[in-house]
Amino acid sequence: MRIIAPAEVTVRTWAIITALVFATLDRPLAEVADDFNPSFLQAAIFFVMGREPPKDVKFDSDRLAIVLSVITDQMGAHDAKHEFNVSKQEPCTINMTLLEPPYGMGRLEFMKLPSPRAMRITGENVHMDLPPETWCNSKAEVNSEGFVQSIKGTSMRLRKVQLVGHVFRRLAALDYIRDHFCAGQPEPPPPPASLTKGTFASGANCHNVR
């Protein structure tokens, strides 16, 4: 089990460290230069999908991108195109559209997302409990004009979400968003000092600690 950050590390120090991890980990140096100031949309795509340019993300602008990611349906696992966009009216919300069958649409409001310090990490997974209206998905279909649109009455809000892979880089991307674009939910209170300082009384009541 991995711990996000020890209590002795301040939130600001964590933000600096994770910003560097987001920019550089597992990346060739030649590709890093343009990523020290990624757009909100680029950071949001990496947080949600774990995908990044140039292979899996193609940007039309800072507000529109096509993302290639694996989905699993009756045909098995295969790559599928998703559209991610951000409107000027809602600069902290991303709208997501699966452009291929089985189609689908989603909406994620970063101002409502909890802090990474409020999320849990187990192995290569990030677990988060979401407030109402933070992340909503719906089924979709292609209309007569050839555009993907949501199907009325199918919208569902997600209460719990699990992200898999690139755990610390994805949390770093969220911290980058919180620092530069959308503050999100407040930081959670620090854990009790008795759980963080590492000072324990000796006692005969502890057995079989491995």
Query: What is the spatial distance between Cα 176 and Cα 8, in angstroms, rounded to a whole number?
Result: 21
pLDDT band at 59 (very low <50, low <70, confident <90, very high): very high
**pLDDT of residue 12 exceeding 70:** no
Q: Which residue has the higher pLDDT, 78 or 129?
A: 129
Q: Write the single-letter amino acid at 179.
A: D
CA gap 35, 38 in Å, rounded: 5
Q: How far is CA 172 from CA 25, 33, 190, in A?
A: 11, 17, 19
The confidence score (pLDDT) of residue 199 equals 46
pTM of the model: 0.75
Poorest-pLDDT segment among 32-36, 81-85, 174-178: 32-36
Q: What is the arithmetic mean of pLDDT over 120-128? A: 94
Distance CA 5, CA 25 (A): 17
Residue 110 has pLDDT above 70, yes or no: yes
Give the angle subtended at the CA of 168 by the CAs of 35 and 24, to the nearest 5°. 30
How does residue 7 score in pLDDT terms, banded at 50, 70 and 90?
A: very low
pLDDT of residue 70: 84
Confidence of residue 195 (pLDDT cuts 50, 70, 90): low
Q: In terms of Cα–Cα distance, which of 79, 132, 85 is closest to 106?
A: 85
Alpha-carbon distance of 110 to 206, in angstroms, equals 44
What is the per-residue pLDDT for 187? Answer: 96
